[in-house]
């Protein structure tokens, strides 16, 4: 796995060089609170869910308004806010997507893995239910919460997901640049072709890029918003955590086709 991704630090000019201001969204109405336990089912603050498409070698997302998959473009650039673990995939038996709750530590927090039309697939710590997940069509997935520029001069919170060989490349990059992951921007500068059995795939090649003080300050503010949501999220029950995003199937980011073949995931997982 060490040769999957060759990272390089390039370009002295800051990528995010303008003070990026975000629009204030209205605060959600609390739906599950008490006076002594002020938690609520706040919606996920991510405005777009991206994932690496290993068959095409690009970052893509689903545009619900246009009802089509959109390629994010070359040299996708982002600032990492946080990383969580989840499960994604496709369940042939029910012809529906696979999803789970998100956890920070797979060794200490159990996963509840479900298919949208197939019910619960497995529950427990990842190492104990890994075989069931894979047999059902699921993949261990790292959900990177990121700050990204949505075609404008402001940063927004997004989700960028890696699984399979792309996750291995991301893990290697994180190991090599652990000290700088939350200090600089990260750009996908190219791809590396791989093959396992009959499956040919593309993995991302990452590079670090410097950022301005203004961009870093705005990313920190977005992370505060994210951490407030995560505090509320982890205060929920496992059942609530494993519910579809924002409680509605039609709001899921999972309209992306999850049926493309993936090489089997590495035995090692990042957390």
pLDDT exceeds cutoff 90 at 79: yes
Q: What is the pTM for the complete model shown?
A: 0.81
- The bridge status of strand 111-115 relative to strand 96-100 is antiparallel
Q: What is the dihedral of CA 62, 67, 68, 69, to 10 degrees?
A: 10
Q: Where are the domains of the chain?
A: 8-19+42-249
pLDDT in tens, 118-134: 999 999 999 999 999 99
Which tens digits make up the pLDDT trace of 116-175?
999 999 999 999 999 999 999 999 999 999 999 987 778 999 999 999 999 999 999 999
Q: Distance between CA atoms of 249 and 247, rounded to whole angstroms?
A: 7
Terminal-to-terminal C-alpha distance of the chain: 17
């Amino acid at each position: 796995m060490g040769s999957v991704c060759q990272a390089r630090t390039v370009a002295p000019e800051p990528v995010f060089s303008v003070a990026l201001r975000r629009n204030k969204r209205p605060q959600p109405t609390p739906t599950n609170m008490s006076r002594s336990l002020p938690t609520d089912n706040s919606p996920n603050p991510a405005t777009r869910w991206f994932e690496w498409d290993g068959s095409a070698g690009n970052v893509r997302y689903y545009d619900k308004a246009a009802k089509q998959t959109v390629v994010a473009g070359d040299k996708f650039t982002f600032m990492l806010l946080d990383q969580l673990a989840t499960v994604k995939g496709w369940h042939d038996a029910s012809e529906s997507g696979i999803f789970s709750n998100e956890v920070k530590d797979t060794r200490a927090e159990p996963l509840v893995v479900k298919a949208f039309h197939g019910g619960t697939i497995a529950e427990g710590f990842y190492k104990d239910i890994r075989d069931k997940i894979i047999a059902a069509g699921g993949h261990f997935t790292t959900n990177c919460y990121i700050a990204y520029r949505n075609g404008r001069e402001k940063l927004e919170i997004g989700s960028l997901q890696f699984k399979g060989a792309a996750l291995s490349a991301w893990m290697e990059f994180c190991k090599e640049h652990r000290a700088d992951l939350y200090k600089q921007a990260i750009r996908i500068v190219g791809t590396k072709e791989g093959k396992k059995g009959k499956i040919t795939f593309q993995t991302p090649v990452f590079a670090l890029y410097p950022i301005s003080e203004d961009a870093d300050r705005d990313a920190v503010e977005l992370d505060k918003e994210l951490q407030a949501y995560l505090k509320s999220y982890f205060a929920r029950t496992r059942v609530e955590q494993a519910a579809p995003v924002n409680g509605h199937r039609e709001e899921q980011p999972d309209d992306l086709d999850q049926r493309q073949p993936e090489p089997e995931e590495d035995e090692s997982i990042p957390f």
